[in-house]
Amino acid sequence: MTGPFQPPPGMAPRSVLVRNCTACGACCAAPDIAALGKPLGVPCVHLGAGCLCVIYDARPAVCRNYAPDWVCGEVAPLPTLDARVRRFLEIYGLQDELTE
Ligand code: SF4
Ligand code: SF4
């Protein structure tokens, strides 16, 4: 298997194959998003109930261009948004940048 769902070597030993976005909210909460003035680890102000985007039709290009990849399999099955954010940042080596 190759492509965006292939984890890097040595990564994601407990990854579940997730090919479609399950609206887990991790990518709307974990990374910093300059276009939205969103800091790392803080849910986007447009992230609504059920981890759905409340400005979906007007979301910026950075969000439109984001596509599911192997990281979704690592984060989406986790039970809380906080856990998903922490795992997302851990994958990218950014867990120490969380302020709380
Ligand atoms: S991390 Fe993946 S599954 Fe979760 S909301 Fe983002 S694209 Fe969807
Ligand atoms: S604008 Fe919508 S899609 Fe983009 S990060 Fe915020 S909630 Fe997610």
The protein residue with its alpha carbon nearest to ligand 1, atom 7, reads: 68
**Beta-bridge partners for 53:** 47
Provide CB contacts within 8 A for 69, sequence distance 6+.
Answer: 4, 5
pLDDT value for 23: 96
* pLDDT single digits (tens) 57-97: 999 999 999 999 999 999 999 999 999 999 999 999 999 99
**Beta-bridge partners for 33:** 38
Q: Which ligand is nearest to the CA of 55?
A: 2
* pLDDT single digits (tens) 16-48: 788 889 999 999 999 999 999 999 999 999 999
Which structure tokens are listed for 89?
A: 């940042």
Q: Which atom of ligand 1 is nearest to the CA of 25?
A: 5
Residue 99 above 90 pLDDT? no
Say which residue, 76 or 12, is predicted with more confidence: 76
Q: Which ligand is nearest to the CA of 19?
A: 1
Q: Which ligand is nearest to the CA of 49?
A: 2
Please give the model's pTM, rounded to 2 decimal places: 0.92
Q: Which of 45, 53, 54, 85 to mutate to test the pocket of ligand 2 (most atoms within 8 A of CB)?
A: 53
Q: Which atom of ligand 1 is nearest to the CA of 30?
A: 1
